Amino acid sequence: MAHQHHHHGHGHGHGDGSDLAEILLLDAEVTAAHLAVFTGRIAELAGDTAVHRVVDLGSGTGTGAFALLRRFPGAVVTAVDTDEGMLRHLTESAARHGVADRIRPVHADADAGWPETGEADLVWASSSMHHMNDPDRVLADVHATLRPGGLLAMIEMESMPRFLPDDIGIGASGLEARCHALADAAKAEHLPHMGSDWPARLRAAGFTVLDSRDLVVDLAPPLPAPAVRYAVATLKRFRAGLAERLPAEDRETLDTLLAKDEHVLRHLPGLSVHSTRSAWIAARS
């Protein structure tokens, strides 16, 4: 539900597309129940007007697209992304699941101009809007793309998930808090729209906010296997992205956690998953 999006990986560390794709797929497993509730609310607000034409802005591996195809059996999704590798991954997954005819991949950058999507009943934007250079212009484009009464469903996760107990027993306490502080400083520089007042921006673009909520993922130990893999993959990417900024002691601690097939991290007492995403459903006024 998060990370799968326009300009993948900006501010989230370095690494190739395969490790990000793994994180996105694991994130989808960990957040599946929350996503089902949210798409159910979209269906309630859509009312008797069927959702047939969906635009997924920053589609990534297709977490949102597939959830919406399940929720709206008559829908076709135009999946827009800047990353051709992610679009290939999405179309291959669609073929495996027998829904290739319901996915239309579009390689485009919404910052450079709105792609040819046609009119939409619903636009889905999960962790993509804060990557835009001019989100107000993109929101105006979304408004123009939606039919009258059409819906925009938007999710923003303002920081990386947290996994580690404060005292992990093999290094200085507060390791993850320090990592997040460094990552937040980098995001403030490179992603200035992260943490924006999105309801105000939605209203300024002509939307009426119908639903506002927090989607809270809070998994206590012992974690199920997909959540453990999610923690491992995310912290590995986090470590790579902070390589030049971390003090030596913290680098060594992370390296210990991630050494030898991540054995220490996988068996760390207190390993958990905590993340909060803000979500809105807004209608074209």
Following DSSP, what letter does each residue of 68-122 receive, concatenated? HHHH-TT-EEEEEES-HHHHHHHHHHHHHTT-GGGEEEEE--GGG---S---EEE
Q: What is the mean pLDDT of residues 12-26?
A: 71
Mean pLDDT score of the chain, rounded to an integer?
A: 90
Residue 18 neighbours by CB distance under 10 Å: 10
Q: For residue range 181-219, what is the model confidence (pLDDT) as tens digits?
A: 998 888 878 888 988 999 999 999 999 999 999 999 999
Pairing state between β 146-157 and 103-107: unpaired
Burial class (CB in 10 A: 0-12, 13-18, 19+), 273: buried
Q: What is the mean pLDDT of residues 34-44?
A: 97
Is the pLDDT confidence value at 143 over 80?
A: yes
Nearest to 34 by CA among 235, 208, 218, 203: 218
Is the pLDDT confidence value at 173 over 50?
A: yes
Q: In degrees, to the nearest 5, what angle opens at C-alpha 183 toward C-alphas 252 and 174?
A: 50
Q: For residue range 210-262, what is the model confidence (pLDDT) as tens digits?
A: 999 999 999 999 999 999 999 999 999 888 988 888 899 999 999 999 998 89
pTM of the model: 0.91
pLDDT tier at 12, thresholds 50, 70, 90: very low
pLDDT computed for residue 172 by the predictor: 63
The one-letter code for the residue type at 26 is L
pLDDT computed for residue 243 by the predictor: 82
Q: What is the mean pLDDT of residues 140-161?
A: 94
Q: What is the mean pLDDT of residues 13-41?
A: 85
| Number of residues assigned to the chain | 285
Higher pLDDT, residue 242 or 273? 273
pLDDT tier at 2, thresholds 50, 70, 90: very low
Is the pLDDT confidence value at 11 over 50?
A: no
Q: For residue range 67-95, what is the model confidence (pLDDT) as tens digits?
A: 999 999 999 999 999 999 999 999 999 99
pLDDT computed for residue 188 by the predictor: 79
DSSP the chain: --S-STTTTTTS----HHHHHHHHHHHHHHTHHHHHHHHHHHHHHHTTS---EEEEET-TTSHHHHHHHHH-TT-EEEEEES-HHHHHHHHHHHHHTT-GGGEEEEE--GGG---S---EEEEEEES-GGG-SSHHHHHHHHHHHEEEEEEEEEEEE-S--B-S-S--SSS-TTHHHHHHHHHHHHHHHH-TTTT--HHHHHHHTTEEEEEEEEEEEEEPSSPPHHHHHHHHHHHHHHHHHTTTTS-HHHHHHHHHHHHHHHHHHHT-TT--EEEEEEEEEEEE-
* Range from 5-14, 88-97, 171-180 that averages highest in pLDDT: 88-97
pLDDT computed for residue 5 by the predictor: 44
pLDDT computed for residue 9 by the predictor: 34
Q: Where are the domains of the chain?
A: 17-162+193-219+275-284
pLDDT computed for residue 14 by the predictor: 35
Beta bridge partners of residue 202, listed in sequence order: none
Q: Residue 37 contacts by C-beta under 8 Å, 6 or more apart in sequence?
A: none
> What percentage of the chain exceeds 70 in pLDDT?
93
Q: Residue 176 contacts by C-beta under 8 Å, 6 or more apart in sequence?
A: 162, 163, 164, 166
In this structure, CATH architecture of domain 17-162+193-219+275-284: 3-Layer(aba) Sandwich (3.40)
